[in-house]
A and B are shown apart, each in its own frame.
Chain A
Amino acid sequence: MSLWKKKKKSDEDYYLASQWTLMGRKLMHHKLAKFSIVLLAVLYVLALFAPFVAPYGLNDYDSNYKNSAPTKIHWVDENGKFTGPYVYKMTYVNNRETFKREWAEDTSEKFFLRFFAKGREYKLFGFLPCSRHLFEVEGENGGTGAKILLLGADNLGNDLFSRILYGSQISLTIPFAGTLISFVLGIVLGGISGYFGGAVDTAIQRIIEVLTALPTIPLWMALSAAIPADVPVPAMYLSITVIISFISWTGLARTVRGKFISLRNEEFVMAAQVAGVSPFRIMTKHLVPGFMSYLIVNLTLGIPSMIIGETSMSFLGLGMRAPATSWGVLLQEAQDITSIAQYPWRLIPLIAVIITVLAFNFLGDGLRDAADPYK
């Protein structure tokens, strides 16, 4: 009996579960998507706590460490005894033949790492004054002590690891803000176009046609050429976001329009119209929820191209510019082959880009599979 009851219960769960619960459950079956969610969560938490995790500030450069190789972390001393993590000071010799700095460890003094220690002051989330850091090097002061450069330094002597973290605050949020804008634009314009039809529809469709005919990157380049070089960082951020979202809403608007056209003649819409429901309410209450999952999938799949877009623009010097930093800005240093050959760690921001884009792709794929009622 109990078996039957249990079985029945699970059946009922299955039949009665809402679309979202089902989607969530199916998504959890998609191992890559699950992994991607965790990964993205970690990335976003890191971005949120960037000043806490990063050992150095955004522009705390030290010219003694120009193009420094990554610092090695040691765990045991010369006698093989475990001592906890420590680093040596890095020194360099200029190689006269290759004109390359060759980095070596100065093993005369050990600098231990301290965790959750007080250090440089910063504001967490932009307003909480804090001075604790996840980790820092003991006795570091004014450039005489050792520095910890987990991923090496750039050509000014900035810590690449810290800068990747600060960069993620921009690189990871622009796509979200952009998505939000294109979401609103897509639904509103697509909805109006599909629901009302006629001349409005024709006009909107023509605009979309024109925008899709213009190749994305050249258009972005043209638009961002319009941003004055001296705007403050928040305005720059906003402009780039708007520019990037400028393109992706068109696809969404087309989809929404198509759905509206096919749905507006359905009986339930007619019933709502007869009952005197306003067009706005019909759209928001009756039409949009019907294909919300579809929209979310589309949007998730659109995020990667936005990340790549922002990176590309910044890489060309047309996107974010110093003093702000993003992954694309960091990659500017990787523009020529010889610099990569000498300082391969300059490509590390690329790994961050690839991982994030892949994670969003897998998540989008998982969501699409989960949202598809026919599978």
Chain B
Amino acid sequence: MFIPTILIISFVVFFIMQLPKGDYVSSYIARMQAEGEVFTQEDIAALRAQYGLDKNWVMRYFDWVFKIITKGDFGYSFAYGRPVWSVIMDRLGITIAVSLTIMAFTYLVSIPIGIYSALHQYSPGDYIFTAIGFLGMATPNFLLAIILMYLSFTWTGDPLLGLFSNEMLQEGIHLYNFGEFLQRMIIPTIVIGTAGTCGVIRTVRAQMLDELSRQYALTARAKGVSEATIVYKYCLRAALNPVASGLAGSLSSIFSGSTISAIVMNLSIQGPVLYEALKTQDTYLAGTILMTQAVLVVIGTLLSDILLAWLDPRIRFERKRS
């Protein structure tokens, strides 16, 4: 299941990457010519050969996959002038850390709010959370970033751009500036996490309402079980089912959201690198980033399957049978 999916992903990614007209060499030459350099046909052909762009794309794809499998070599980044993998490793750790933080934020905030909203349906609190939820889903997150940065700028004089201050970049992250790092995480977390959070609030609320009206909740109530037990032992566990199956999707939407927001907020995660790579047709770099993200989502799917099986014995049962 896992490996064929990844193979197809790699193929689809590579196919998309070669879709734009031209290649890195042509976009490079266009830029250089704008600066007044002159290239002969031979120069161009030599450049193509140097980057391995003279072969047809299917050949290049098999080359690429073959090298990944045999040597763990993901190709060469034309723009950075070094192997793709080392470019990615620069930011992979921080990208995963940011994504996980946002995910934790999403679930820690949305599940309690969703439960509250369901238990107090049509109360002022429910209306307020619903309104915030809808607004959060309706605002494109890059614009939320601009608004929050603007607010932060007018109040504190610092737009909190980027994840690290200049000093941090020089000295690295230590215990004494970790607080500042966390502070700088606030806006990105809110910006990227809001849409997902609002979505999960809506799901949990709807699911909880659904589960609370189920017959088994009534049975439990009829045997004298307290409301808290009904909510947490019975309904919540059932209501979390779609949340768990949405785990991979939320990871994917975090990658999505963080790409644009990171460009706007100048965060040193993979988003902006991908954006630049796409613009300069740095095929292998862009392709590898897209693929790592997809693979992480596939891993997320596996995790959510495991979580689902843990939550719901019926799913375990079906697995055993098949």
Direct contact of A and B (CB under 8 A): yes
* Partner pick for A210 among B9, B248, B274, B278, CB 8 A cutoff: B9
The answer to whether B143 touches A334 (Cβ under 8 A) is: yes
Measured CB to CB, the closest approach of chain B to A338, in angstroms, equals 9
The answer to whether B138 touches A357 (Cβ under 8 A) is: yes
Is A206's beta carbon under 8 Å from chain B?
A: yes
Q: Which residues of A contact B128 (CB under 8 A)?
A: none
Q: Report B139-173 residues with CB < 8 Å from chain A CB.
A: 139-140, 142-143, 146-147, 149-150, 153-154, 159
The answer to whether B252 touches A358 (Cβ under 8 A) is: no
Measured CB to CB, the closest approach of chain B to A178, in angstroms, equals 16
Q: Which residues of A contact B154 (CB under 8 A)?
A: 341
Q: Which residues of A contact B147 (CB under 8 A)?
A: 347
Q: Report B100-115 residues with CB < 8 Å from chain A CB.
A: none
The answer to whether B279 touches A225 (Cβ under 8 A) is: yes
With CB as the reference atom, state the residue of chain A lying closest to B20: A226
Tell me the complex Cα distance, A308–B16, Å: 22
Measured CB to CB, the closest approach of chain A to B322, in angstroms, equals 15
Measured CB to CB, the closest approach of chain A to B131, in angstroms, equals 10
Is A274's beta carbon under 8 Å from chain B?
A: no
Measured CB to CB, the closest approach of chain B to A357, in angstroms, equals 4
Interface string of B229-266 (1 = CB under 8 A from A): 00000000000000000001100110111011001100
State whether A362 and B150 are in contact (beta carbons under 8 Å apart), knowing that A213-B294, A223-B16, A337-B159 are contacts in the complex.
no
Q: Which residues of B contact A206 (CB under 8 A)?
A: 4-5, 8
The answer to whether B139 touches A354 (Cβ under 8 A) is: yes
Comparing A107-115, A125-133, A158-166, A309-317, the segment that makes contact with chain B is A309-317
Measured CB to CB, the closest approach of chain A to B143, in angstroms, equals 5
Give the interface size class of chain A.
35 or more
Tell me the complex Cα distance, A207–B9, Å: 9
Give the interface size class of chain B.
35 or more
Q: Report A278-322 residues with CB < 8 Å from chain B CB.
A: 304, 308, 311-312, 315-316
The answer to whether A337 touches B149 (Cβ under 8 A) is: yes
Tell me the complex Cα distance, A223–B281, Å: 12
The answer to whether A222 touches B257 (Cβ under 8 A) is: no
The answer to whether B16 touches A210 (Cβ under 8 A) is: no
Is B201's beta carbon under 8 Å from chain A?
A: no
State whether A316 and B263 are in contact (beta carbons under 8 Å apart), knowing that A206-B8, A221-B275, A225-B278 are contacts in the complex.
yes
The answer to whether A358 touches B138 (Cβ under 8 A) is: yes
Q: Which residues of A contact B293 (CB under 8 A)?
A: 214-215, 218
The answer to whether B264 touches A212 (Cβ under 8 A) is: no
Measured CB to CB, the closest approach of chain B to A333, in angstroms, equals 11
* Partner pick for A341 among B150, B275, B301, CB 8 A cutoff: B150
* Partner pick for A354 among B135, B294, B295, CB 8 A cutoff: B135
Tell me the complex Cα distance, A308–B159, Å: 24
Is A361's beta carbon under 8 Å from chain B?
A: yes
Q: Which residues of B contact A209 (CB under 8 A)?
A: 5
Is A217's beta carbon under 8 Å from chain B?
A: yes
Tell me the complex Cα distance, A304–B149, Å: 24
Tell me the complex Cα distance, A354–B135, Å: 8
With CB as the reference atom, state the residue of chain A lying closest to B143: A350
The answer to whether B146 touches A357 (Cβ under 8 A) is: no
The answer to whether B252 touches A215 (Cβ under 8 A) is: yes
Is B269's beta carbon under 8 Å from chain A?
A: no
Q: Which residues of A contact B150 (CB under 8 A)?
A: 337, 340-341
State whether A331 and B143 are in contact (beta carbons under 8 Å apart), knowing that A218-B259, A337-B159 are contacts in the complex.
yes
The answer to whether B146 touches A337 (Cβ under 8 A) is: yes
Is B12's beta carbon under 8 Å from chain A?
A: yes
Q: Which residues of B contact A216 (CB under 8 A)?
A: 252-253, 256
Interface string of B278-299 (1 = CB under 8 A from A): 1101000010011001110110
Is B53's beta carbon under 8 Å from chain A?
A: no
State whether A222 and B286 are in contact (beta carbons under 8 Å apart), knowing that A214-B294, A312-B140, A350-B143 are contacts in the complex.
yes
Tell me the complex Cα distance, A341–B275, Å: 26
The answer to whether B137 touches A361 (Cβ under 8 A) is: yes
Is A19's beta carbon under 8 Å from chain B?
A: no
Q: Which residues of B contact A358 (CB under 8 A)?
A: 134-135, 138
Q: Report A335-375 residues with CB < 8 Å from chain B CB.
A: 335, 337, 340-341, 347, 350, 353-354, 357-358, 361-362
Is B19's beta carbon under 8 Å from chain A?
A: yes
Tell me the complex Cα distance, A331–B142, Å: 11
Measured CB to CB, the closest approach of chain A to B274, in angstroms, equals 6
Measured CB to CB, the closest approach of chain B to A221, in angstroms, equals 6
State whether A316 and B260 are in contact (beta carbons under 8 Å apart), knowing that A213-B9, A362-B134 are contacts in the complex.
yes
With CB as the reference atom, state the residue of chain A lying closest to B210: A374
Is A323's beta carbon under 8 Å from chain B?
A: no
Interface string of B204-220 (1 = CB under 8 A from A): 00000000000000000
Q: Which residues of A contact B256 (CB under 8 A)?
A: 215-218
Q: Which residues of A contact B319 (CB under 8 A)?
A: none
State whether A212 and B252 are in contact (beta carbons under 8 Å apart), knowing that A226-B19, A353-B140 are contacts in the complex.
yes
Q: Which residues of A contact B71 (CB under 8 A)?
A: none
Is A219's beta carbon under 8 Å from chain B?
A: yes
Q: Which residues of B contact A340 (CB under 8 A)?
A: 146, 150
The answer to whether A213 touches B297 (Cβ under 8 A) is: yes
Q: Which residues of A contact B185 (CB under 8 A)?
A: none
Closest 4 CB pairs of A and B: A226-B19, A215-B255, A357-B138, A217-B256
Q: Which residues of A contact B (CB under 8 A)?
A: 206-207, 209-219, 221-223, 225-226, 228, 304, 308, 311-312, 315-316, 331, 334-335, 337, 340-341, 347, 350, 353-354, 357-358, 361-362
- In the assembled complex, 27 residue pairs joining A and B whose CB atoms fall closer than 8 Å, in A order, are A206-B5, A210-B8, A212-B249, A213-B295, A213-B301, A214-B290, A215-B293, A217-B255, A218-B259, A218-B271, A218-B274, A218-B293, A228-B20, A304-B137, A312-B142, A315-B140, A316-B275, A334-B143, A337-B149, A347-B146, A350-B140, A353-B138, A353-B140, A354-B135, A357-B138, A358-B138, A361-B134
Q: Which residues of B contact A (CB under 8 A)?
A: 4-5, 8-9, 12-13, 16-17, 19-21, 134-135, 137-140, 142-143, 146-147, 149-150, 153-154, 159, 248-249, 252-253, 255-257, 259-260, 263-264, 271, 274-275, 278-279, 281, 286, 289-290, 293-295, 297-298, 301
Given A213-B298, A221-B274, A337-B159, 6 further pairs, Cβ under 8 A: A210-B12, A214-B293, A214-B297, A228-B21, A316-B260, A358-B138
